Structure 1
Amino acid sequence: MGMDISGITNTNATSLVQNKNDVKNTDTSKVEEKVAENKSTEQGATYEKSDVKETGTYKINKMSKEDRAALVQQLKADMEQQKQQMLELVNKTLSGQVGTFGKANDDSFWRMLAGGNFKVDAATKAQAQADIGEDGYWGVKQTSQRLFDFASALAGDDVDKMKEMQKAMHKGFGQAGKSWGRKLPDICQRTIDAADSLFDNYYKSKESESKEVISEDTIKE
């Protein structure tokens, strides 16, 4: 099992900036019913940390290697499904507006999107708003938690490896920024900050565990 989540992070980051641009480049319209319909038919499976059948604050870190490997595959499958749904939505919207669509990994494609030289219909805007909203799959809360969970599944309960994963996360966002061709939208920075906070809380929990062990040893002596 690989120990680098920069590729996963790059996918998360580029998807975030794509949806962010969808929201900015369209006329406003009330399409709440369409959003509700899209949520029920298109959103697909969303990973919830409560699915993990373990005890303790950091459930994933303490899972067995085999269970963590299985969780990584689950997370990847969920993300790929969401990515494909997003790309299909964008493909339908941009059909005829840009040259050759489909090369989502091509830097020129992302730079074109960053430039905002296209139109987005009201329904697409509404779906994008829902996707990056507070409860959306690509929103700050879910994305930062998903990044932390990926790291936890890859690293296990190992502080040094978790720090490696955190560095890989920042590397992934850096790569996404280069593909984007300009400063990433604010939602990306807020996602990084939220994920960093999750990592910091984990490190603090490990420090507390170490202090408790030392205290117990001192009492025994």
Structure 2
Amino acid sequence: MAINSITNSVAAQRASTYTAAKTDHTEKKSESSTKTDTGVVYEKSSGQTSGTVTKKTDYALVNKLKADAEQRTSQLRSLVEKMMTKQGVAIGTADSMWSFLAKGDFTVDEATRAQAQADIADDGYWGVDQTSDRILDFAKALSGNDPEKADLLLDAFKKGFKEATKSWGQDLPDISQRTYDAVVEKFNKWKNGTEETEAAQTQA
């Protein structure tokens, strides 16, 4: 649960640099939208994988994805902070929290363990499928679903993954590597135009 949180958050921050060249007016508009969307939970719609290419950043979707990621990460951080406090561990920076988790030198109550297992399950919010889907959706929203930008945004994700590894302080857990592999695979399908074809075959 924890590591896919930082993988998702850091990768999203990296991918956000794609829009850094926008004008101040656009940035202010985006910031305003973020404030109004805070607390909105992102749920992928059935038409989300539409092949329509606009080549225009979908700021509404970007802001929803960012707000959702921030809210979920905040919930996770609060959970970890409570656990650390109960065990007499001082709460420092975000990096120190990830290092604390990476060491594994802590205990969790049964309710927290059950929630964590549900969150990283195959159908969980921090599971491989949902996390990789959100990262791809974020890239599509930033690029206006332009597959020509896939390599650029995938590179941003890979840089974010390296930063997450650095924050973790050691090799990331298996779930993170599986998420990484799933993201690369989904980006390649998007870039090569095979995403819709395979989805249709699966539904048939």
Asked whether the two chains share a fold, i.e. TM above 0.5, the reply is yes
Aligned equivalent of 1:117, options 91, 105, 112: 105
Q: For residue 80 of structure 1, what is the amino acid of its counterpart?
A: E
Which residue does the alignment assign to 1:48?
43
- C-alpha displacement of 1:109: 3.0
Aligned to 2:84: 94
The aligned residue for residue 204 of structure 1 is 192
| Cα distance in 2 for residues equivalent to 1:10 and 1:171 | 16
Candidates 133, 148, 162, aligned match of 1:174? 162
- State percent identity of aligned pairs: 47
What's the CA shift string for 1:58-83, capped at 9, x where partnerless?
427635736x1110001111111111
Q: Is contact 1:94-1:119 (8 Å) kept? A: no
5+ residue gaps, structure 1: 1-8, 16-43, 209-221
* Equivalence map 1:57-72=2 (5 Å): 58-59=49-50, 62-63=53-54, 65=56, 68-72=58-62
Query: Residue 10 and residue 94 in structure 1: after superposition, are their counterparts in 2 closer, same or farther (change >3 A)?
Result: closer
Unaligned runs of 5+ in 2: 11-38, 197-204
1:65 aligned counterpart, secondary structure: coil
Q: Does the 8 Å contact 2:40/2:67 carry over to 1?
A: no
Match of 1:215 in 2: none
Q: Give TM-score, length-normalised by structure 1.
A: 0.65
Q: Which whole-Å CA distance do the structure 2 matches of 1:103 and 1:117 have between them?
A: 18
CA-atom RMSD in angstroms: 3.0
Displacement, 1:179? 1.1
Amino acid at match of 1:62: V
Q: Report the alpha carbon displacement of residue 100 of structure 1 after superposing the two structures with TM.
A: 2.1
CA displacement, residues 42-97 of structure 1 (integer Å, 9 cap, x when unaligned): xx865332165xxxx8427635736x111000111111111111112112222142
* Alignment CA distance shift 1:183-1:86 (3 Å): same
> 2:41, 2:68 within 8 Å by CA — same for their partners in 1?
yes
Question: Under a length normalisation based on structure 2, what TM-score does the superposition of the two structures give?
Answer: 0.70
Counterpart-to-counterpart distance in 1, 2:143 and 2:127: 24
1:61–1:152 CA contact under 8 A, matched in 2: no
- Report the number of matched residues: 166
* Structure 1 residue 134 displacement after superposition: 1.1
Report if aligned partners of 2:55, 2:143 keep a CA contact under 8 Å in 1: no
- Is the 8 Å Cα contact of residues 130 and 136 (structure 1) preserved in structure 2? yes
Counterpart of 2:127 in structure 1: which amino acid?
A: G
